Structure 1
């Protein structure tokens, strides 16, 4: 069987702030959105918090209307704010219980050619089980599988599953499985919390048990750790390390003797030599598939962007028993922008411009004799 992981970077719609030409343009917008959402969720609003909320709303283009260029403030009931005729914003609510509503990122459609290139990657992977990162939700992943994959003459997956996670932007992780690889059980870790009562996982760490054609049970934990994109680096690093440590603890309960078939896969947003990933890389029995003698990285050590060693952020971590069953492995980069001087790798004929890229991430896979 073939196991794979792929960050599809959304399928039908993507936050407008994440679709800008440069990540440097979108990062401050997402940072302001995250900060404002955090403040709006506070039980009580201090005077300082109200001033900061008003400032952030103006930065996000909400001074005149609840609809800004990149975000929408939905106010269903209660009083949150007033907009004086003289300008500005005044927060009138005393806390989260005083109003009902939400702050949401505005979406826009993904380029159709890029969407089809994403489908081409999933078809060319020829994987039986794929951990999917950055899918909007299950209906979107289901419709992509049912409509777009057949449109490029691919065979849809038999099983499609996504468990909604903690990300306010609607970025989730899920699983696609072929006929003969049913999902037997699912277990969410979306409510796992740290010592302060805050969610550990940025999305979720869903735990799927898949039955193989040889009647073996494969346990797959799909992850998308905290990004480096915005927020204070020390806080982001600490969050990723806490996530890695929690995954290690979950793994220990699943494979106490080292003889179970367990895989921790997905976009972990850091390199193998980093401190945040040390609980998994150096603090557990899990083995990185890239280190297997049968794994071919295609001449590039990374999985993201230019695919240098500093861009190795996507993983297939395997339990010792599963690592021993690897017969081959590799990286599929045909849907990634290859650069221009010179092109680093071969791509689809339909990928003529950076906007045509299926994803900034490569798809990674291993063949397993289970």
Structure 2
């Protein structure tokens, strides 16, 4: 019995306007800095018009990318609210896939911007197996103290009573065709926030390590020493990578691509003792990336930030299952290694519009 699960950071599916850029230049959109805007009222009018004009193209492409996953269960990150999710599903996704995703789940989490993780599900799989929800749980309230995960390495300003998850670990207890599947959806701490001569990824890694340990604790606490016999999947934007592809060169002279493997990562905790498998590693090393990061031509790389981790039982039962990556919504500035080029969606821009800065990942696998 086959189920198809996708994960996608849809990038700021937000229904609110953010006008803080008028007073904080770090939050001002770059196009707004081209104009001499005299008053805050005029700024708000222009910013609202800019956001609305850009959102339609972006969301059409987001819906196209989701439609291309053809998933039975869709895990999303960066969703503002259930109202935003419903408006997107009805106004955009419905036009691509019809009335497919009738089951929707979102719990408000801890993010300061109000972006949450969410799950959309069909009522049946593509093969006619019923998808049933037995229970849904948020773990957003867990603190470092609760799980004994507080250390000074977490960084200044964090306290034992602070919450572990920067957003949430949303848990769904499912039955698919009568067979059990536990799904955990996460969006870990971003790699921004360097301190002194310590880069952002290194400075924030202890926070992500605590989040990974918390997810593993939740699963091990539920299943005990039977974890290796359970059907569970951990999905989401994990904001970390175990390897990356350095992009060297520029558009005029061309690019070359070098794999940097074996990098320290918070996600190594999932892989320890065969607890779970990052099945993306079944793809070629040059072809595992889900995001392009660049700060000018001197710092650019491709990396995997979006994951579908299978429990050891599911990985063993699906030895040849390989994830697919939907890259047609990437902007034209993203360099593709040779042989990976795709046809972009209509109206895709150099940097924007785009489906998202992330690529959806989807995996079909059998439930034993």
1:338–1:345 CA contact under 8 A, matched in 2:
no
1:86-122, Cα deviation, whole Å (9 max, x unpaired): xxxxxxxxxxxxxxxxxxxxx9445201111101111
- Structure 2 counterpart of 1:330, from 304, 309, 324: 324
1:133–1:224 CA contact under 8 A, matched in 2:
yes
| 1:205 is aligned to 2:173 | no
1:295-338, Cα deviation, whole Å (9 max, x unpaired): x4695221112698752111111101111343342111111114
2:154 — aligned with what? none
- Structure 2 counterpart of 1:349, from 346, 351, 358: 346
- SS at 2:292's partner residue? coil
1:237 — aligned with what? 205
Q: How far did 1:142 drift?
A: 1.7
Q: Structure 1: how far apart are the matches of 2:85 and 2:291?
A: 22
- Structure 1 counterpart of 2:103, from 150, 154, 159: 159
Q: Structure 1: how far apart are the matches of 2:329 and 2:285?
A: 14
Q: Structure 1 length normalisation: TM-score?
A: 0.70
Q: How far did 1:277 drift?
A: 2.2
Q: How far did 1:186 drift?
A: 0.6
- Structure 2 counterpart of 1:263, from 233, 255, 263: 233
Cα 1:253–1:69 shift into 2, 3 Å: farther
Q: How does 1:163-202 map to 2 (within 5 A)?
A: 163-180=107-124, 181-195=131-145, 196-202=160-166
Question: RMSD between aligned alpha carbons?
Answer: 3.3
- Structure 2 counterpart of 1:249, from 209, 213, 217: 217
| 1:133 is aligned to 2:127 | no
- Structure 2 counterpart of 1:286, from 248, 258, 276: 276
- Greater RCO between the two (CA within 8 Å, min separation 6)? 2
Flag the structure with larger Rg.
1
Q: Structure 2: how far apart are the matches of 1:2 and 1:309?
A: 29
| 1:216 is aligned to 2:179 | yes
Q: Structure 2: how far apart are the matches of 1:229 and 1:68?
A: 31
Q: How far did 1:228 drift?
A: 1.1
1:157-183, Cα deviation, whole Å (9 max, x unpaired): 021111100012011001111112232
1:57-92, Cα deviation, whole Å (9 max, x unpaired): xxxxxxx99x9979xxxxxxxxxxxxxxxxxxxxxx
1:338–1:346 CA contact under 8 A, matched in 2:
no
Q: Structure 2: how far apart are the matches of 1:154 and 1:298?
A: 36
Q: Structure 2: how far apart are the matches of 1:313 and 1:131?
A: 14
1:10 — aligned with what? 12
Q: Structure 2: how far apart are the matches of 1:69 and 1:280?
A: 46
1:159–1:182 CA contact under 8 A, matched in 2:
no
1:120 — aligned with what? 64
Q: Structure 2 length normalisation: TM-score?
A: 0.70
1:275 — aligned with what? 265
- SS at 1:179's partner residue? coil
Q: How far did 1:203 drift?
A: 0.5
Q: Structure 1: how far apart are the matches of 2:75 and 2:21?
A: 23
Q: How far did 1:252 drift?
A: 1.3
Cα 1:158–1:254 shift into 2, 3 Å: same
